[in-house]
Amino acid sequence: MNTSTRPALTQLSEDESAFQMAVREFAENEIKPYVTEMDEKAEMKKEIVQKLFEMGLMGIETPEKLGGAGASFTMACLAVEEIAKVDGSVSVLCDVQNTLVTNALIKWGSETIKSKYLPKMAKEWVGAYALSESSSGSDAFALKLRAELKGDKYVLNGSKLWITNGNEANVFIVFANIDLSKGYKGITAFLVERGFPGFKVGKKEDKLGIRASSTCELLFENCEVPATQVLGEVGKGYKIAIETLNEGRIGIGAQMIGIAGGAYEATLKYVQSREQFGKPIAQFQGVQFQLAEMRTELEAARLMVYNAARLKDAGADFIEAAAMAKLFSSRAAENITSTAIDLFGGNGFTKEYPVEKFWRDAKIGQIYEGTSNMQLQTIAKMELDSQR
């Protein structure tokens, strides 16, 4: 059976399966021809971003009345996974748009905010999520970007680092502190548009993997943000950050199983065509055992990610499931892509074949949207709390 059409063991509904296949075909036809070029140039093609909008993949959960697809969180994760099988960079652009930015606007935005931004984000505007700073990575609430209320505007001063979609974004969810003496209770979320006075996108990072995905510094120098641009409540930005990242981790899990799946499918084809000692290396038991381990680990990760997404859609408690899914899937992606290189041999170490890029793209999964250590901490805390 052709691995590109072979179903996962996980059960999907008819609508989900049709959607998955449509995204898979889109990724193969519209993204794959440009993957190497984008990786080498560390630059996202604008045409691909536009096609994501045309396919309806940038507002998957956005209600239809606001221009979106009105679909589920699980559908968004399926899109992220299928795109990641071809390119992790395009996948994370789609992921941040759906599971972080749009998700936060749907949940926390006023009706005015939703009507203003969601239609644009479904059709033409890219979003970014700006939490991290040089002093606040895993310690997310140590942020120092300051927001001071002056009349009917907040004035922001400081900077952000490692912001995904920085180059492409039109609107940014920016977390700043209105009163440092209050600690995390001073953190407030603002919607900052690219054209606001005093705001600019700074240096783009030169990265190991997901190179076409822009990861940028953001600079705020007396940046004026109307008070009406507060997302949620003043001083409650920490709550938005926590809840949104819990959801976003499932999206990163989807990206990881996509990357791992792409590497596995490429390997399965390669070992059946590569001959040594007069026969395809797929006929050697040692290779078969490695394939079996890869497939089993991939399916276990996929089940965990899908389960977390289903729990989120059902309105059930999904925090621990999300942490487990991200932890396991990111480790699985690194293991599977590394084994893929081993099975490709010397060819796997060259850029002529796709698996070295899958391996480079996989590493970020253990770092962003909560490191593996932070996921372990979350899981352990919830387990211990459940015993009290």
Distance CA 355, CA 360 (A): 9
H or E segment to which residue 157 belongs: strand 153-164
Residues 60/62/68/71 CA torsion (nearest 10 deg): 50
- Per-residue buried b or exposed e for 219-249, using 16+ beta carbons within 10 Å of the residue's own CB: bbeebbbeeebbbbebbbbbbbbeebbbbbb
| Residues 83/76, Cβ–Cβ less than 8 Å | no
Amino acid at 16: E
Residues in Cβ contact with 236 at an 8 Å cutoff, skipping those fewer than 6 apart:
188
| DSSP 8-state code for residue 7 | P
* Residue 102 phi, psi (nearest 5): -60, -40
Length of the chain: 388
Residue 338, Cβ neighbours under 10 Å: how many?
Answer: 16
Residue 95, Cβ neighbours under 10 Å: how many?
Answer: 30
What is the C-alpha radius of gyration for the chain, rounded to an integer number of angstroms?
21
Instruction: Please indicate whether residue 168 is annotated as part of the active site.
Output: no
Q: Which of 30, 265, 369, 383 is catalytic?
A: 369
* Residue 113 phi, psi (nearest 5): -60, -45
Cα 111 vs. chain centroid, distance in angstroms? 26
| Residues 337/209, Cβ–Cβ less than 8 Å | no
Distance CA 48, CA 174 (A): 26
| Residues 226/153, Cβ–Cβ less than 8 Å | yes
H or E segment to which residue 147 belongs: strand 146-150
Q: Which residues are catalytic?
A: 369
